[in-house]
Structures are given as C-alpha cells and as structure tokens.
Structure 1
Amino acid sequence: MLLAQRRADSHQGGLWEFPGGKVESGESVREALDRELKEELGIEVQDARPLIRVPHAYADCRVLLDTWLVSRWQGEPRGLEGQPLAWVSMGELTDRSMPAADMPILDAIRLPDTCLITPPSVADATRFLQALRKAVSNGVSLVQFRVFGLAENDLEDLALASRRLCEEFGAKMLVNGPLELALKSGAHGWHLNRRHLRSLKSSRDYAGLLLGASCHDAEELALAREKGVHFVLLSPVLPTASHPDAEVLGWKGFSDLVAEFPLPVYALGGMNASLLEHSWRAGAQGIAGIRGLWPD
C-alpha cells in the first residue's frame, strides 16, 4: 500500500495517510480521485473501485473519507508536492502513525471481498470438508463456520478440521456459535449473532480474535460500532430460498444504512458472485452467503 506523509504544518501534520484530497464543486468522487492522484503522484488511474466511506469527527473538524482501492495505474508514483512516500506491506501498516480517521480503512484493506458461510446442517462430514476444500483452494479466504445439530464432540472435531483446512490455504475461519467452540477449535475469530452482540462487553476482552457481527437494522449497526467489532454482515438484502417472504432491505435500503457507517459491511441475503461489483457500488465490502457461494 502506498502512504504519504502529511506536512508538519497541516492538520494531523507529520502523520502518514493514504494519498488523496478534497472533492471540488461539480466533481464526482471518481473524478476527484483521478485528479488528486494525478496532481499529487503524477499517475493516471486505470482501475479503481469503492472500498469504504468513513465519517470521523476530530475536535476541530468533521471529515468523510470516501476511500477507493486503486489496483491499476499508469506512471510511477512520485511526491509531486514534496511529500515523502512509502510503499508499506500489509503487515507493516500498523507500524506507521496514521490519523484516527484512517483506522477503519486498515480493516477494509485486510478483509477480502467475499465471506463464505457454511451450510448449517451437516449430514456427511467428509463431503462437507471436501466442499470446503474446494472453496478455499479456489480463493475463498474468509469462512464463517456455522453448523448446528451435531453432538458436541462431533461439532468440535469438525470445527477443528475446518480450521486446519482453512489454514492450509491461507484462509481465516470465524465460528458463529459459542465462544468456547471458537477457542477450542483455534479459530481465527468469533462471529456474533444478535444475542452475543448485545451481551458483548468490549472487544478489548477478545484481543487477537477477528470479530464479526450479524446486523439487520440501524440499531444493531450502531451497537456493533459501539462494541468495537471489526466488520458486520447486514441482511437480508434480497429474497432468499430459505426465507422467500421475509421483508428485505433491497440495495437502496442497504446503501442508505451503510452510507456513513465506518466499518466494513458485507451484503448478505440472496447473494452470488455475479453481484459482487453491484455490492461495491452500494457501499459494501463485498458479499456473504451460503447457497450462492458454497461449492457443493
């Protein structure tokens, strides 16, 4: 990731940030992105997509960071305004002093654009693991283990085998279920349902675990933000085969809820791979799902 250092005499002076600038009157956000990166870095943006919008209130001003992920450009980035630049690996991003408003962007960068949720019923553990292997070997890197109805020992064995399989392909696994299961299986995170979210005291008590939460409305989104989770799944966006008559948010309802929500949000409900780019335009980190993503 490319970082630039702010001038010492500017707001948040001396800190490292992602390059960019203010949207001028009459500009679209994408036009401002292209202009600012040409003026600051001397590059022509060729491919970019929305990543996350982060509202933040400092003591002396309020900002809204409309952040985009630039994946292809022409030219060699240079500090045309005299600003120092640094290419920083993912693991080194937290070593740099950055403005508080930039912190949620780090979570969005680290998270993939797809979250696979396992089917809740498992009739054959071998077939389950074969399907999971196919998913993670094909590039799925975030898995929510959500299985019900098994005996405790069988559930623990399956969770442990699933976590090992995910690690074999560099994927992370969160457990949607009891915290004890997440800890016993060595999962990389814990996904909170509505009940767990409401009872969570502070994310600081779970340092080292990636925390996700399931949300359905503005109240639950606000609660997830207050509790300090790393990302959320917001549903239902579209009708699903399992709940065809449920009231859905629709893309507009989803977009309205996440417009100024400063955490990565996955769209859940009726999702499949063909809707990924649509989800980005609606303000999502990406998509989450079972039926539309599970390879079995």
Structure 2
Amino acid sequence: MKRVHVVAAVIRGHDGRILIARRADTQHQGGLWEFPGGKVEQGETPRAALGRELQEELGLQVEMARPLIRIAHDYPDKHVLLDVWDVSAFSGEPHGAEGQPLAWVAPRQLADYEFPAANAPIVAAARLPSEYLITPEGLESGELLRGMQKAIAQGAKLLQLRAPRGYDPAYRDLAVDAVGLCAGKAQLMLKGPLEWLGDFPSAGWHLTAEQLRKYASRGRPFPVERWLAASCHNAEELSLATQMGVDFVTLSPVQPTQTHPEAQPLGWEQATQLIAGFGKPVFLLGGVGPQQVQRAWDCGAQGVAGIRAFWPADN
C-alpha cells in the first residue's frame, strides 16, 4: 500500500493556544479533531505544501515555521507519513474555508480532544517544550529545591528530579517537595521503582533503560493522561520504548560528556538516523545545551535535555 505524504501544522497564537480543526463526517477518520494540513502534491516540497494547504483551508499566510516531528503510521486502510510543522507566526484571520469548525486550545487541553491515532505523538510534541532540565547530583535537598525554583522562575517547563543513587527513601521525601514546587507551573518527571507510581499521581515518570528492558512487554503502566518517558541509547531501546507506549524519550549521549566519559557518543548523524525511524518526541542529551536547540530541531528532535547546561547559576 502506498504511503500518503501529508503535512500538518501546529499553529500557535500570540497567547500560546493552538489551532485545531474538526474533520468532516464524510472524511477518513471523520468527526475527529486534527491539526490543519493536507496532502503533499507530486513535485512539491513539504514547506510549500504547508503554505498552500493553510492558505486554502484557513486563509492564513505562513510567516515562520519549522519542522516539529515526522511520523509514519499505518491504519488498516491507509498508510500515512505525517510531516508536522510548528507555525509560530502567520498573517490573516483563520477561518474554516471548507466549513470545518475550528478551536483555539491551550496545549494542556489538547488531551481532552479526540484525534486520529496517528496524531498522538503530535499532541505530545505540541505540548512539550524544547528544553528538558535534569537536576544535578551532589546537591543537598535545600540547594536542589532552590535551584529548581529558580529554573522554573526563569521559564523551565519540564524538569526531571534525577535519582542517581537508585531507590533511595530520601528521594521520595524530596519528590514530595518537588511536586509542590512544580504544581501549576511546570511538569515534573520522577524516577524510581514503579511501586512508587501511585504515590505521586501528578508527576510523570522517566524510566531507565534497565526498566525498559524489564517492563516493556507489559505495556504502559498507567493511563495516557500522565506523561511517560524513557532513557534510550540505541535502536533496541527505542523499539522497547515504542512497545511500552512512552510519550517521549531522551537519546544519549550525542557528544562526549563529563558525567559518562566512558560512553561512546552517537554523534549528530547517527542520532538523526535513529530519530527518523522512531516517530515520537526525542530530546537529545549528552554534551548539548540551549545553543544546540536549532541543530537538534534540524535532526528531527523535539529539543535538547541537559544537566549542567540548564541548571541556573548562583543559587
């Protein structure tokens, strides 16, 4: 079956809300909500198709856009390649030129709308920021919490409370404080044994590669309303992450790092190849910082993750 190449747009308004459209009942996957877009015509570039489709469908002229994520998805009756773009600037007043209902939705509310199955990674990518802060080790609790508070004040939206010593009871106490610190301001990702999941219902969970190997065959350990991530280092672990139904991953190390000098870096080219076959948001980790965000986007990644490069100075 031939794969249909489609462009889709995550269109962001000045207030941060995202524009979605409802599919006509007569269409494939009719009645569901979608990110506006359409088929790439023969000989047309994805960027050109994006501009044409948004003009035809919504009356918009795209002024600023970048690739967000690419997803290959196989329905029983149709194979699609979704080429998704993040549109951050446009002119014109959007309207349903084909009569389709539109809605401006806050990113966190996207999960409340019913989309085609292929759109699940797009919803995740639209909701996630481009930077993922991982807390450093070796700090006492007060210093760690003050650093997290400062990072959130500076705009951090996704934070992982790292657990370098494994299943330490002191980590649980720290996690309670971190949950309170992030409430309503940032998404907190915790680590640790899955037996702790029920104790922190508002937090997401970041699995180690070891946990992936142990639990992937069991599938997702909690409902889709809660973030699930994993640490991956190769194609095998990315495959396990897919099997487990994670929402996003970190892929590392891209470059040599101080924390893991013995690890063989993937390099940008191999990282790009691994991302291309994955189809979910990927944060590149290891020897990268905020200045590499554009390069990560060029590789097909959601963005970059880091410890030292993202931790606020002078706590």
Is TM-score (shorter-chain normalized) higher than 0.5?
A: yes
TM-score normalised over the length of structure 1 = 0.90
Contact 1:121 1:148 in 2 (8 A): no
Confirm whether residue 17 of structure 1 aligns to residue 66 of structure 2: no
- Quickly say closer, same or farther: Cα 1:56–1:120, change in 2 above 3 A: same
Shift of 1:93: 2.9
Match of 1:48 among 65, 68, 71: 65
Letter of the 1:174 counterpart = M
2:15 is matched with none
**Residue aligned with 2:38, SS:** coil
Confirm whether residue 146 of structure 1 aligns to residue 162 of structure 2: yes
Query: Greater shift after overlay, 241-250 or 16-25?
Result: 241-250
- What are structure 2's unaligned runs of at least 5 residues? 1-17
Contact 1:48 1:71 in 2 (8 A): yes
Match of 1:173 among 188, 194, 199: 188
Match of 2:206 among 191, 194, 197: 191
**Residue aligned with 1:205, SS:** coil
- Quickly say closer, same or farther: Cα 1:159–1:87, change in 2 above 3 A: closer
Alignment of 1:1-296 (within 5 A): 1-122=18-139, 124-149=140-165, 152-167=168-183, 170-181=185-196, 183-184=198-199, 188-200=203-215, 201-207=217-223, 209-244=226-261, 246-296=263-313
Shift of 1:260: 3.4
Letter of the 2:211 counterpart = H
- Quickly say closer, same or farther: Cα 1:162–1:182, change in 2 above 3 A: farther
- What are structure 1's unaligned runs of at least 5 residues? none
Query: Greater shift after overlay, 203-212 or 219-228?
Result: 203-212
Letter of the 1:276 counterpart = V
Residue by residue over 1:245-289, the C-alpha shift from the partner in whole angstroms, topping out at 9 and shown as x without a partner, is: 532222221111111322111111111111112111111111111
Two-structure CA RMSD over aligned residues (Å): 2.2
Whole-angstrom CA distance in 2 between matches of 1:192 and 1:155: 15
Whole-angstrom CA distance in 2 between matches of 1:222 and 1:149: 27
- Which aligned segments of 4 or more residues in structure 1 are displaced greater than 6 angstroms? none
Letter of the 1:22 counterpart = K
- Quickly say closer, same or farther: Cα 1:172–1:197, change in 2 above 3 A: same
Letter of the 2:153 counterpart = S
Whole-angstrom CA distance in 2 between matches of 1:128 and 1:194: 25
**Residue aligned with 1:206, SS:** coil
Whole-angstrom CA distance in 1 between matches of 2:145 and 2:84: 37
Letter of the 2:157 counterpart = S
Contact 1:134 1:295 in 2 (8 A): yes
Letter of the 1:61 counterpart = K
Contact 1:52 1:108 in 2 (8 A): yes
TM-score normalised over the length of structure 2 = 0.85
Shift of 1:212: 0.7
Query: Greater shift after overlay, 175-184 or 261-270?
Result: 175-184
Shift of 1:183: 4.6
Shift of 1:234: 0.7
Shift of 1:219: 1.1
Query: Greater shift after overlay, 281-290 or 181-190?
Result: 181-190
Contact 2:167 2:192 in 1 (8 A): no
Residue by residue over 1:73-105, the C-alpha shift from the partner in whole angstroms, topping out at 9 and shown as x without a partner, is: 100012223333232333543443322111221
- Quickly say closer, same or farther: Cα 1:163–1:5, change in 2 above 3 A: closer
Residue by residue over 1:100-145, the C-alpha shift from the partner in whole angstroms, topping out at 9 and shown as x without a partner, is: 11122111112221111111323x3222222221111111111111
How high is the sequence identity, in percent, across the aligned residues? 49
Contact 2:167 2:193 in 1 (8 A): no
Whole-angstrom CA distance in 2 between matches of 1:100 and 1:42: 27
- Quickly say closer, same or farther: Cα 1:183–1:285, change in 2 above 3 A: same
Letter of the 1:142 counterpart = L
